[in-house]
């Protein structure tokens, strides 16, 4: 079998959150003016890839996400991820047999309060309310009677105005424990409090920390139902993800559930990117990001659902041991002396680096990362995001590397607002940047794989015309843009049900390596 040889680099361009769906009023991908992508899809080899459910190690019909998508692309493997792995840990008893669970319960039995916090929905991307319920049942059966929940409302992986449903579900659930004191103590939208990621805005974390620990917020209510009712009256069209922080108080206006010295605190998100910063806020002694007042990390026993950073092993205490990923593409290329470059803006920088490299920020020899700082304004007001700046870096540096990977976040980040017009602009900005990169690829004699990690932007309205902010289970595009003579030397292979796990081996073949780890999925192309 011949080997492919390119003078220029192999570029992997990941269009975050850009899936395939029939044209329609909510399909910002098909409605956008994207002449480069349109031509590329017609003129070059292309295939639709599976990027959700079992194809990326999730439960059947579970929508894909950026974390598992990049894990799968960068490792070439399908492993149990996210909710599939956590469900298994609950079923096997790993969660409740862990030393961390036993220690948290002991704290609560010795006079402390058992607190839970996390994204409060059944979206299954970052967390699942059923896991919270299972832990409360177990804690109650072990004798715990005082439990407080800090609800980080979703409206992103589920319907944008669904918080009332989850509050009602929880209140009905809590009433089953008539001799226990179980309450929602505070809440707020995931884009407003607690759940920042990639250190994009530490003020989000501070707002959540102050809400939970110090009882400080813009709003105070007697019940979570009252909170949602009044906040909706103040701003009728506010999505759950943007709900302001609030604290529940008693008849004497005292917070009903501050996180205090001697308490145990379980953060039940299993996905790391929106959990690591709040974990640091509770556990780091040397913490420079904001003033925590008189709080000390020794005050509270903090437990994560799993490990949120495999390099720093944060948090120390966790209910589920982390997934270990070996045999990643970047390590495969390191042993062959291939130089690598990873580029994105802050909101997806961790995906193109940490997640792509098997949950590690450790660089391979000859590998470099470039992070472009994201705007903190609402994404729909800057739908072009940092496309131009990303393309600037890639076109300038492309000639210095053999493998370049890049993430354009707009389809996902703007798509999560369900603003169709803004997401169309995001797609158009991406198209312009891809065309610039393609011109440089042609000049250098390289090849570019254009792919997505999961769907979102192609389905922003449901069948009734309501906004849809969640990811999708749709397939994603994969286009091999190649204007070199190599284009005639390979064709699409006959991979059954191709998915994201087939990309690592495809990159390897394009780089001239027909042999690759047996754990990887088969390449999408075969050399003639």
Rounded CA gap, 83 and 63, in Å? 11
Q: Where in the chain is the domain with CATH 3.40.1450.10?
A: 84-304
Mind listing the pLDDT tens digit for each residue in 280-301? 999 999 999 999 999 999 999 9
CB-based contact 13:450 (threshold 8 Å): yes
Q: pTM score, two decimals?
A: 0.83
Rounded CA gap, 187 and 505, in Å? 44
Q: Where in the chain is the domain with CATH 3.40.720.10?
A: 11-80+324-527
Mind listing the pLDDT tens digit for each residue in 207-260? 999 999 999 999 999 999 999 999 999 999 999 999 999 999 999 999 999 999
CATH class for domain 11-80+324-527?
A: alpha beta
CB-based contact 232:238 (threshold 8 Å): yes
Q: What are phi and psi of 198, to 5 degrees?
A: 55, 30
Mind listing the pLDDT tens digit for each residue in 428-466? 999 999 999 999 999 999 999 999 999 999 999 999 999
Is 66 designated active site?
yes
Q: What is the pLDDT of residue 501?
A: 98
Give strand pairing partners of 472.
Answer: 455
SS3 300: coil
Mind listing the pLDDT tens digit for each residue in 168-194? 999 999 999 999 999 999 999 999 999
Contacts of 286 (CB under 8 A, 6+ apart): none
Mind listing the pLDDT tens digit for each residue in 470-524? 999 999 999 999 999 999 999 999 999 999 999 999 999 999 999 999 999 999 9
State the average pLDDT over residues 44-67.
95
What phi-psi label fits residue 497: left (phi over 0), alpha (psi between -120 and 50 degrees) or beta? left
Is the confidence at residue 1, as pLDDT, over 70?
A: no
Q: What are phi and psi of 187, to 5 degrees?
A: -170, 170
State the average pLDDT over residues 77-85.
90
Which of 30, 52, 66, 344 is flagged as catalytic?
Answer: 66
Mind listing the pLDDT tens digit for each residue in 469-481? 999 999 999 999 9
State the average pLDDT over residues 58-65.
91
Give strand pairing partners of 314.
Answer: 309
Q: How far apart are the first and last CA of the chain?
A: 7
CB-based contact 58:51 (threshold 8 Å): no
**Above pLDDT 70, what percent of the chain?**
100
Is the confidence at residue 376, as pLDDT, over 90?
A: no
CA atoms within 13 A on the CB side of 46: 19
CA dist list (Å): 435 to 7, 36, 37, 341, 342:
20, 6, 8, 19, 19
For the domain made up of 84-304, give the CATH fold.
3.40.1450
Rounded CA gap, 342 and 401, in Å? 10
Q: Which two tokens stand for residue 180?
A: 């226990």
């Amino acid at each position: 079998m011949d080997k492919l040889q390119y003078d220029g680099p192999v570029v992997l361009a990941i269009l975050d959150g850009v899936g395939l769906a029939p044209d329609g009023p909510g399909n910002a991908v098909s409605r956008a003016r994207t002449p480069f992508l349109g031509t590329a899809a017609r003129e070059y080899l292309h295939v639709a890839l599976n990027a959700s459910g079992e194809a990326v190690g999730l439960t059947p019909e579970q929508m894909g996400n950026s974390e598992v998508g990049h894990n799968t692309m960068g490792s070439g493997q399908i492993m149990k991820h996210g909710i599939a792995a956590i469900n298994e840990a609950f079923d096997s008893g790993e969660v409740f047999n862990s030393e961390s669970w036993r220690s948290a319960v002991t704290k609560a039995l010795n006079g402390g309060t058992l607190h839970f916090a996390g994204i409060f929905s059944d979206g299954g991307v970052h967390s699942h309310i059923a896991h919270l319920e299972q832990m409360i049942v177990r804690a109650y059966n072990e004798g715990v009677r005082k439990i407080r929940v800090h609800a980080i409302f979703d409206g992103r992986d589920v319907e944008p105005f669904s918080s009332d449903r989850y509050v009602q579900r929880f209140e009905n659930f809590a009433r089953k424990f008539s001799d226990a004191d179980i309450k929602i103590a505070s809440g707020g939208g995931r884009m407003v409090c607690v759940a920042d990621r990639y250190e994009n805005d530490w003020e989000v974390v501070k707002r959540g920390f102050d809400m939970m620990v110090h009882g400080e917020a813009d709003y105070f209510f007697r019940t979570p139902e009252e909170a949602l009712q009044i906040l909706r009256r103040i701003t009728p069209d506010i999505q759950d993800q943007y709900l302001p922080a609030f604290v529940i108080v008693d008849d004497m206006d005292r917070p009903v559930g501050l996180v205090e010295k001697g308490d145990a605190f379980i953060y039940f998100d299993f996905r790391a990117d929106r959990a690591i910063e709040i974990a640091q806020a509770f556990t780091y002694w040397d913490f420079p990001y904001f003033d925590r007042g008189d709080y000390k990390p020794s005050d509270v026993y903090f437990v994560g659902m799993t490990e949120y950073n495999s390099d720093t092993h944060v948090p120390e205490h966790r209910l589920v041991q982390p997934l270990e990923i070996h045999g990643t593409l970047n390590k495969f290329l390191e042993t062959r002396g291939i130089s690598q470059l990873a580029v994105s803006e802050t909101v997806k920088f961790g995906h193109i680096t940490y997640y792509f490299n098997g949950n590690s920020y450790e660089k391979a020899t000859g590998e470099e990362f470039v992070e472009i700082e994201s705007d903190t304004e609402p994404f729909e007001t800057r739908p072009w995001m940092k496309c131009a700046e990303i393309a600037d870096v890639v076109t300038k540096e492309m000639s210095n590397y053999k493998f370049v990977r890049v993430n354009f976040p707009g389809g996902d980040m703007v798509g999560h607002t369900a603003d169709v017009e803004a997401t169309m602009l995001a797609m158009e900005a991406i198209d312009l940047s891809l065309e610039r990169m393609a011109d440089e690829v042609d000049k250098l004699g390289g090849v570019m794989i254009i792919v997505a990690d999961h769907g979102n932007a192609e389905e922003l309205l449901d069948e009734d015309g309501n906004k849809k902010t969640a990811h999708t289970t749709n397939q994603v595009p994969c286009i091999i843009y190649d204007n070199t003579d190599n284009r005639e030397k390979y064709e699409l292979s006959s991979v059954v049900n191709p998915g994201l796990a087939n990309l690592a081996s495809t990159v390897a073949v394009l780089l001239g390596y027909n042999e690759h780890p047996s754990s990887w999925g088969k390449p999408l192309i075969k050399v003639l």
